[in-house]
Amino acid sequence: AQKITQTQPGMFVQEKEAVTLDCTYDTSDQSYGLFWYKQPSSGEMIFLIYQGSYDEQNATEGRYSLNFQKARKSANLVISASQLGDSAMYFCAMREGKRSSASKIIFGSGTRLSIRP
C-alpha cells in the first residue's frame, strides 16, 4: 500500500506567489517523522523541513512551512513568495517508528514545481 501520496505530478506557479504542495501519508505508528526534500535537475537531494508526529506546532524554515494536519494525515509544504530557483522536484517523505539512526525514510512520488517569471 502506498504510504506517501503526492497527488500533484506537476505544478506551475507565477513567481512571487505562494504555493502549496500536497502530501498525505499512511501509518499505524504513533511516532513518526515527515520530511520534505527538494531535488533540482542536478539530482542532489536538499533537505527542506521536518515535522515530528508529536510536534504541536507546524514546522517553519524560512520561506518553507509545513501544514501538519495529524487527524487528516496530511503534511503539505507551503512555499511563500516563490522564486525562479524554486523550480525543482519536491518529495515528501516519512520515517516510521521512533527516531533512530537505522529507521528508514520512504518517499512519495514527487511533484515537479515550475515557477513562471
Partner 1 sequence: GAVVSQHPSWVICKSGTSVKIECRSLDFQATTMFWYRQFPKQSLMLMATSNEGSKATYEQGVEKDKFLINHASLTLSTLTVTSAHPEDSSFYICSARSGRGENEQFFGPGTRLTVL
What is the binding site for partner 1 (CB under 8 A)?
Answer: 33, 35, 37, 42-45, 47, 50, 52, 91, 99-102, 104-110
Q: Tell me the pairing of strands 10-14 and 111-116.
A: parallel
Q: How far apart are CA 69 and CA 43, in angstroms?
A: 30
- Select 16 or 99, whichever has its Cβ closest to partner 1: 99
Least distance from partner 1 to the Cβ atom of residue 35, Å:
7
Cβ of residue 20: shortest distance to partner 1, in angstroms?
20
Question: Which CB sits closer to partner 1, 18 or 54?
Answer: 54
Choose between 52 and 73: whose C-beta lies nearer to partner 1: 52
Q: Which of helix, strand or coil describes residue 93?
A: strand
Pair 74, 93: CB distance under 8 Å: no
Three cell numbers, residue 114: 515550475
